Chain A
Amino acid sequence: MNDNKNDYAPLALHVPEPPYRPGDTPDFSDFEIPAAGEVPMPPVDAPLAELSYLSHDIIRVLDDKGKAQGTWVKNIDDELLDKGLRAMMRTRAFDDRMQKAQRQGKTSFYMQCTGEEAIATAQRMALLDTDMHFPTYRQQGLLFAQDWPVDKMMNQIYSNVEDDLEGLQLPVLYSFKEAGYFTVSGNLATQYIQAVGWGMASAIKGDTNIAAAWIGDGATAEGDFHAAMVFAGVYQAPVILNVVDNRWAISTYHDIAGAGTATFAQRASGYGLAALRVDGNDWLAAYAASRWAAERARRGHGATFIEWVTYRAGAHSTSDDPSKYRPKEEHEAWPLGDPIDRLKKHLIVKKLWSEERHTQAEAQYADEMRSEAEKAEANGTLHQYDRPRPSSKSVFENVYKEMPEHLRRQRQEMGV
């Protein structure tokens, strides 16, 4: 402390910068990655004080050779592994097809989850059909993990006459209640606290259902995220609080949300939550961590926060051009690899899969998505005005349960 103001140098604003911008050569060699198997699995009823190591290490199961290591995964079913790989591959094939469809002008907008397929597919398979997910626009993997009909998704993306939402909602902001897929809001973070409310409701009613909240690194800066953390901690709500840290929020580097001084999981510890940091490109780790968190919630030990360490391999959306703000090579340099390649390797090591079968499966899913897209396109696409379109009437429906008189008159004015 010094009373003499002249002794202080002028302050300057600190603004975090990403390590690499276009033109730089990305190098992640100082990025600390624990070896697979290094971080042990605690019991689900372990006291919080014994869980703090989980918030700065990274839980990893698959090693570079494709072998499963450590205590998180024991006796996993071969069938489940096969299903996980196929779910990821179909997610990617679907994304490729829909990205192309948008480029061809068949819809307004699309969002891929390339590079992040392991997280949602694994978590959906670790939870029950009676649980509810509150996804962002980037958790389509939840649907592929349960073989949800692709045509339902495509018709929604094309906003055509077969779209269950009758063209009212933006592409990919699905709502599939039967699939445990809560109606996706376009407003970031709002649903994080709603998931906590869902979990609290299960506890109030004495059920054993749990909820999964989903958010990206960037959106953790919103007030609703903080509200969710506080409520989840206070009421020990049966929820999984997922943060998918794919390092980018459109053009904004994750340190602009996270400050780069603590992990997201360490922040969560401060709210009194069990907090894990998990290799999001490791399907086995994703599955095991999700199982652990689900079990913990369902046994009444409270909410678990999971920070998924991953990388957004594609553009933010079809409206975005990432080459403007990050090096093209950054994804290749990213040390956690590709989730499909890594699980594929594991299955090959276990003699459950082969390069040939993989290539075959790729072609099969590309074909599947092409023919599904053709079928969906036969129902119409967004900008086709010479074809039957979603009804205009539906604009006035479901605003309220019963249509008030002023809306009835407006509908008449529209002439429908």
Chain B
Amino acid sequence: MFDDKTETKTMNMIEAIRDAHDVMMERDSNVVVFGEDVGYFGGVFRCTAGLQEKYGKSRAFDTPISENGIVGAAVGMAAYGLRPCVEVQFADYMFPAYDQITQEAARLRFRSKGQFTAPMTIRMPTGGGIFGGMTHSQSPEALFTHVAGLKTVIPCTPYDAKGLLISAIEDDDPVIFLEPKRLYNGPFDGHHDRPVVPWSKHPAGEVPVGYYNIPLGKAATIREGSDVTVLAYGTMRFVAEVAAEETGVDAEILDLRTLLPLDLEAIEQSVRKTGRCVIIHEATRTSGFGAELLSIVQESCFYHLEAPVMRVTGWDTPYPHAQEWEYFPGPKRVGEALKKVMEAA
């Protein structure tokens, strides 16, 4: 991570994201930030607080409530030479922008043979765990990874969020930056009945001051183990950790961090070593990103596998309100999968 001499500060994920913006706006005057409630107020989750005051209204500003407007304008600005980093208030509200994201931003480079490009970042809070019901809880990552020309990133700690957001802003292609909103204020392992743990109690809440980056496309091994590889990202990384602890299964947990481009090597190495694999995500199962991971594991590690690969995911239904904890794939379901995959001969 970083050596002892690096100056660090305790940050939650919101502060880390804000800091990444600050660092990049300071370094590169082409970085502009906008979205609904993003300017004066600093975002409904406060991820852009203070930026307008520091960098002025033409570099950090409020937009009309039009997600396709936000993304479409960002495409035009990026093509001109700016580096927009825009916010969609919730991933659930990106759908009006889906045309601009998938048909325009994603293909500008390809269809113009590189004459026009869209170096832009689209941030959006994702995932459940906050009683947001069907319109503040969805996990649409597979709708982005399915599209050629987009990169998709999903950090789950303040340290990663800052380093990855800096890389996303510096990247010359459009990057979808999904922020698991349940993790903004602290790690969450799915035990909703236990006291909330703040980031100040977690080592990844120590964030270097100033510039650093974490390259896109690199997974992190959160826990080494020999029994089974768990492929996780977002909030599920913490669920995986607690499930391994509670079941005593010696799981090797990979936090994928970037879904596209994917760290194939890390996945293959680990699964070949353990011979077992459990894939977990909050998103619905059918055609979810887990299906892609499962195919990759099957194609490249088949002869190393000792048990069928399992998935633990959200159900194939809209995200319910009162039934949040029956829907959210918590430690119990993940633990059962870990045990089951170990039972197989």
Contact = CB atoms under 8 A, between A and B. Distances in A.
Decide if A and B are genuine partners: yes
Q: Which bucket holds chain B's interface residue count?
A: 35 or more
A382 B326 CA distance: 14
A250 B323 contact: no
Given A15-B58, A170-B133, A219 B322 contact: no
B50 interface: no
Interface stretch (B92-100, B232-240, B293-301): B92-100
Given A13-B57, A186-B133, A325-B41, A224 B96 contact: yes
A250 B36 contact: yes
A186 B93 CA distance: 9
B92 A170 contact: no
Interface string A251-262: 110001100000
B93 A223 contact: no
B315 A170 contact: no
A168 interface: yes
Contacts, number: 129
Interface in B127-163: 131-136
Interface residues of A, number: 50
Interface stretch (A69-77, A121-129, A199-207, A390-398): A390-398
Contacts of B62: 15, 251-252, 256
B246 interface: no
Nearest to A391: B323
B114 interface: no
A324 interface: yes
A257 B317 contact: no
A12 B131 CA distance: 42
B135 A185 contact: yes
B65 A249 contact: yes
Contacts of A173: 133
B29 interface: no
- The listed residue with most A CB atoms (<10 A of its CB), out of B69, B93, B96, B133, is B133
Contact of B37 (A223, A224, A250, A385): A250
Contacts of A414: 315, 326
A410 B133 CA distance: 20
B95 A187 contact: yes
Given A173-B133, A390-B323, A410-B315, A223 B66 contact: yes
A209 B228 CA distance: 62
Contacts of B68: 223
Interface string B42-66: 0010000000000001100111111
A328 to B, nearest CB: 16
B78 to A, nearest CB: 16
B322 A218 contact: no
Nearest to A109: B131
A160 B321 CA distance: 11
A415 to B, nearest CB: 9
A251 B67 CA distance: 17
Contacts of A399: 316-318
Contacts of B316: 399, 406-407, 410
A185 B96 CA distance: 14
B320 A167 contact: yes
A188 interface: yes
A21 B96 contact: no
Contacts of A99: none
B327 A256 contact: no
Contacts of B323: 167-168, 389-390, 392, 394-395
Given A15-B58, A390-B322, A410 B66 contact: no
A191 to B, nearest CB: 13
A325 B320 CA distance: 32
A170 B39 contact: no
B132 A325 contact: no
A159 B39 CA distance: 35
B286 interface: yes
A222 interface: yes
Contacts of B96: 222-224
B40 interface: yes
A189 B132 CA distance: 19
Contacts of A146: none
A238 B146 CA distance: 41
A194 interface: no
Contacts of A382: 131, 321-322
B304 interface: no
Interface in A380-416: 382, 385, 389-390, 392, 394-396, 399, 406-407, 410, 414
Nearest to B133: A170
Nearest to A389: B322
Interface string B311-345: 00001111011110011000000000000000000
A24 to B, nearest CB: 13
A171 B136 CA distance: 13
B285 interface: yes
Contacts of A171: 321
A26 to B, nearest CB: 16
B321 A251 contact: no
A169 B64 contact: no
A169 B95 contact: no
A13 B58 contact: yes
Given A221-B66, A407-B316, A186 B134 contact: yes
15 contacts: A13-B57, A160-B322, A163-B322, A167-B322, A168-B318, A168-B322, A169-B133, A171-B321, A187-B135, A249-B65, A251-B62, A252-B37, A319-B44, A399-B316, A399-B318
Given A187-B93, A223-B69, A414-B315, 4 more contacts: A13-B61, A159-B321, A221-B69, A250-B36
Interface of A: 12-13, 15, 17, 21, 108-109, 159-160, 163, 166-171, 173, 185-189, 218-219, 221-224, 249-252, 256-257, 319, 324-325, 382, 385, 389-390, 392, 394-396, 399, 406-407, 410, 414
Q: Which 8 A-B pairs have the closest CB atoms?
A: A167-B322, A186-B135, A221-B64, A170-B133, A251-B41, A159-B322, A108-B131, A13-B58
